[in-house]
């Protein structure tokens, strides 16, 4: 119900005034639209729909450029550090022509090895988990950059001037937390495959039948409705924020929104990440190709077409591997 008085209507952080008399001049129309927005928002909240009234504010172009530079540099530095670590691990895993019969490498960057038949120890599990975590950060950070840039810009335009970058950091923390959880799951899968001798010392599949099955499954997933739904959430950052309650200023809200975005991104890319266990977890060329494919699918306007073409190639490759394993 509308407030019959001409006093202020409180709505969150905004103070909206009801329209005054006709003699109050040009501000009447603006105040009236604010009051209408407040009443609509109140009715939506009463119906259980979370929403927020946002009044865009003018921002200095230099501030936007500064935010963009800070975020791009942070993304570039994080990506470079992750790939530097992966290159170090890859060099450590490929120790020339050394005979690795009966041994397995621990991805530590320190030349650590163990007897192949020995079970994993806590130290080895930790190193493999770190490897997967850094790999996910290196592969997925570039494609998340547009989302981070947009989130900071929306923060500036909604008046959260002092919290824009810090809110973006919290959002990114939630996003990466999902990929850390995925890295833990991938570590457990790698452990299970290695225990059943389905991975060799280079952490690549030893069974063409299994490899073919994973390729075919990943290719079919590229055509699935679920992949389309997840990709739609990742390809349009602004629409994603608007669909899920709008910009959040406080850390818990930012983290939760980042978790949700990360979950959709895992939904897009988990099948591609599974291919690492076929081609070799520490094969740098294979990692680069999969990271590039994930980037093109999520960032470019032709993402869905690229996903479907990749799906055809993956199914064909999987069929070939499957036939090799059955022959």
SS3 of residue 99 by DSSP: coil
Q: For 162-208, write each residue's pLDDT tens digit.
A: 567 889 999 999 999 999 999 999 999 999 998 888 887 778 888 88
pTM reported for the whole predicted model: 0.79
Residue 83 has pLDDT above 90, yes or no: yes
CA distance 227 to 284: 26
Q: For 117-171, write each residue's pLDDT tens digit.
A: 788 889 999 999 999 999 999 999 999 999 999 998 888 777 555 567 889 999 9
CA distance 321 to 274: 16
SS3 of residue 19 by DSSP: coil
Listed as own residue / partner, the contacts of 289-293 with beta carbons closer than 8 Å and 24 or more positions apart are 290/139, 291/138, 291/139, 291/140, 291/142
CA distance 325 to 302: 34
| Under 8 Å between Cβ of 221 and 311 | yes
Q: For 1-24, write each residue's pLDDT tens digit.
A: 444 434 433 343 333 333 343 444
């Amino acid at each position: 119900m509308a407030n019959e008085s001409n006093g202020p209507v409180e709505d969150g952080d905004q103070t909206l005034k009801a329209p005054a008399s006709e003699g109050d001049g040009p501000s009447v129309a603006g105040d009236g639209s604010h009051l209408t927005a407040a009443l609509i928002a109140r009715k939506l909240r009463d119906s259980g729909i979370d929403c927020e009234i946002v009044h865009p504010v003018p921002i200095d172009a230099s501030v936007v450029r500064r935010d963009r530079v800070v975020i791009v540099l942070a993304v570039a530095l994080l990506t470079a550090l992750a790939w530097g670590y992966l290159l170090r691990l890859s060099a450590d895993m490929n120790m020339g022509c050394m005979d690795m019969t009966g041994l397995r490498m621990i991805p530590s960057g320190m030349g650590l090895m163990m007897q192949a038949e020995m079970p994993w120890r806590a130290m080895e599990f930790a190193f493999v988990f770190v490897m997967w975590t850094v790999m996910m950060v290196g592969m997925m950070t570039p494609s998340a950059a547009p989302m981070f840039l947009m989130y900071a810009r929306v923060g500036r335009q909604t008046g959260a001037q002092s919290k824009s970058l810090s809110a973006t950091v919290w959002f990114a923390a939630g996003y990466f937390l999902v990929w850390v959880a995925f890295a833990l799951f991938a570590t457990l899968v790698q452990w299970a495959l290695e225990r059943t001798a389905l991975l060799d010392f280079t952490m690549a599949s030893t069974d063409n039948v299994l490899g073919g099955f994973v390729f075919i499954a990943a290719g079919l997933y590229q055509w699935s409705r679920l992949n389309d739904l997840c990709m739609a959430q990742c390809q349009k950052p602004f629409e994603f924020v608007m669909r899920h309650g709008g910009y959040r200023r406080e850390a818990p809200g930012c983290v939760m929104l980042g978790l949700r975005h990360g979950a959709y991104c895992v939904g897009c890319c988990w099948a591609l990440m599974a291919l690492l266990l076929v081609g070799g977890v520490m094969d740098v060329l294979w990692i680069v190709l999969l990271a590039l494919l994930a980037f093109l699918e999520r960032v470019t306007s032709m993402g869905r077409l690229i996903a479907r073409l990749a799906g055809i190639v993956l199914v064909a490759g999987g069929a070939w591997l499957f036939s090799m394993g059955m022959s």
